[in-house]
Amino acid sequence: MYKYALRRTLYMIPILFGISIITFILFNVAGGDPALQLAGKSATKEQIEELRKELGLSGSYLEQYGFYVKQIVTMDFGRSWSTKQKISQMIFGESLADSPVLVSMSLTFPAFFITLMLSICIALLVTFFRGTVFDKTVMVISLSAISISSLVYILYLQYGLGYSLGLFPISGWDPGWLERWSYLAMPIIIFVALTLGSNILFYRTIFMDEIFQDYVRTARAKGLDNKKIMFKHVLRNAMIPIITLVVLQVPFLITGTLLIESFFSIPGLGGLIWQAVNNSDFPVIKAFTVISAIVYMIFQLISDLLYAVVDPKVQLR
């Protein structure tokens, strides 16, 4: 396993190299001259050239790419074009209380955990009662839920729970660890509502595949209780696809939920990305692209390693 992990880690280097080339071409070559876009139409040639030097764009494309690679290696992506802040401070914050990463995780991780527990339990129940009215009702509700736009959930729940009933604040934020939960309650409910239906359908499909396997027939022939078969054997053997979905979703949880954070004025990474896109803040967008790719590759490796932990029959080569 250690050799496999080391080999996979080394494989990340050429992948990251390819990502850096693509992002460099998109933002520095195909996107035009960033210095000219940032300086504006009224800027003089001297001002544009000075800005190019400041941004590391004064040399050839090869020299510019070398400067970009240096930023990736040192994880120092310079300053934002719109706010003039250091990008590392914008992403990680100056303290834990105001860190956009932890703000986003305060929203996404509790919501994801609630969704995961609910969807697995409901999927097991509908699989156990497959073909019944309960199974069909849950399937219809789940399909209907994933057919509705996320904007509908946000706007209607914001209006109903926040404005009409006054149960939760419509928007805003309090950095206090206890005070923030009143602002996060409704976004968490919306996150669960958005993702629960698709997760139930996915896990039900996995469990339905498992219950027709030979080991289930053997367990029934031995007289094992159906509940024990479902909640012990079927769930355990279905862990590999579950791990795949769960672990590969974690990087997206870290980067936050763009729409929810924007509508509820939550100062997380999703809102930060939204502002960067609106302001054409290329350094921030490039930093997010590279960091997201690195985090995704790390968790993909973790998912592969967990396969061998969950199922001893899996051999990592």
What is the tens place of the pLDDT at every residue in 259-302? 888 888 888 888 788 888 777 778 888 888 888 888 888 888 88
pTM for the predicted model, two decimal places = 0.79
* Alpha carbon distance 81, 277 (integer Å): 12
In 132-153, which positions are buried (b, 16+ CB within 10 angstroms) versus exposed (e)?
eeebeebbeebeebeeeebeeb
Over residues 159-199, the pLDDT tens digits come to 888 888 888 888 888 878 788 888 999 999 999 998 899 99
Q: In the chain, list all ranges with CATH 1.10.3720.10.
A: 100-310
List the structure tokens of 151.
């904007």
CA atoms of 272 and 255, how far apart (whole Å): 10
The average confidence (pLDDT) of the chain is 82
- CATH architecture observed for domain 100-310: Orthogonal Bundle (1.10)
Residues in the chain: 317
At residue 312, does pLDDT exceed 70? Answer: no
The neighbour count for residue 125, using CB atoms within 10 Å, is 17
Return the pLDDT at 34. 67
Residue 31 has what pLDDT? 58
